[in-house]
Structure 1
Amino acid sequence: MAEVFLASRNTKKLGEMERILAPIVEGVRVLGLDDVVEYAEPVEDQPTFEGNALLKARAGLAATGLPTLADDSGLCVDALNGMPGVLSARWSGPPKDDARNNRLLLDQLADVPDERRTAHFACAVAFCHPDGTELVVEGRMDGRVLRELRGSGGFGYDVLFAAVEHPDLTTAELSPTDKDAISHRGRALRQIAPLVAHALR
Structure 2
Amino acid sequence: MRLLVASRNAKKLRELQRILDAAGIVGVQLLGLDEVEPYDEAPETAPDFEGNALAKAHDGAAATGLACLADDSGITVDALNGMPGVLSARWAGRHGDDAANTALLLAQLADVPDERRGAAFVSAVALVVPDVGEHVVLGRWSGRITRSPAGAGGFGYDPVFVPDGEDRSAAEMGAEEKDGSSHRGRALAQLVPVLRELSR
Calculate the TM-score normalised by the size of structure 1: 0.96
- Code of the aligned partner of 2:110: A
- Unaligned residue ranges in structure 1 (runs of 5+): none
- Unaligned residue ranges in structure 2 (runs of 5+): none
- The CA distance in 1 between the partners of 2:196 and 2:29, in whole Å, is 12
Judge conservation of contact 1:129–1:199 (CA < 8 Å) in 2.
Answer: no
Task: Name the % identity.
Answer: 57
- The verdict on how the C-alpha distance between 1:70 and 1:95 changes in structure 2, with shifts beyond 3 A counting, is closer
- The CA distance in 2 between the partners of 1:127 and 1:21, in whole Å, is 15
- Code of the aligned partner of 1:62: A
- The CA distance in 1 between the partners of 2:36 and 2:140, in whole Å, is 30
- The CA distance in 1 between the partners of 2:60 and 2:194, in whole Å, is 18
Structure 1 residue 66, shift from structure 2 partner: 0.6
Query: What SS is found at the alignment partner of 1:107?
Result: helix
Structure 1 residue 27, shift from structure 2 partner: 2.2
The residue aligned with 1:17 is: 16
Structure 1 residue 18, shift from structure 2 partner: 1.4
- The CA distance in 2 between the partners of 1:43 and 1:191, in whole Å, is 26
The residue aligned with 2:162 is: 162
The residue aligned with 1:174 is: 173
Judge conservation of contact 2:26–2:199 (CA < 8 Å) in 1.
Answer: no
- The CA distance in 2 between the partners of 1:94 and 1:146, in whole Å, is 23
1:96-150 CA-partner distances (Å, limit 9, x unpaired): 3000000000000000000100000110000000123100011000000000111
- The CA distance in 2 between the partners of 1:86 and 1:34, in whole Å, is 24
Judge conservation of contact 1:5–1:67 (CA < 8 Å) in 2.
Answer: yes
Question: How many equivalent residue pairs?
Answer: 199
- The CA distance in 2 between the partners of 1:18 and 1:47, in whole Å, is 29
Judge conservation of contact 1:127–1:196 (CA < 8 Å) in 2.
Answer: no
Judge conservation of contact 2:124–2:138 (CA < 8 Å) in 1.
Answer: yes
- The CA distance in 2 between the partners of 1:5 and 1:19, in whole Å, is 16
The residue aligned with 2:191 is: 192
Judge conservation of contact 2:125–2:137 (CA < 8 Å) in 1.
Answer: yes
Query: What SS is found at the alignment partner of 2:136?
Result: strand
Query: What SS is found at the alignment partner of 2:162?
Result: strand
Structure 1 residue 85, shift from structure 2 partner: 0.3
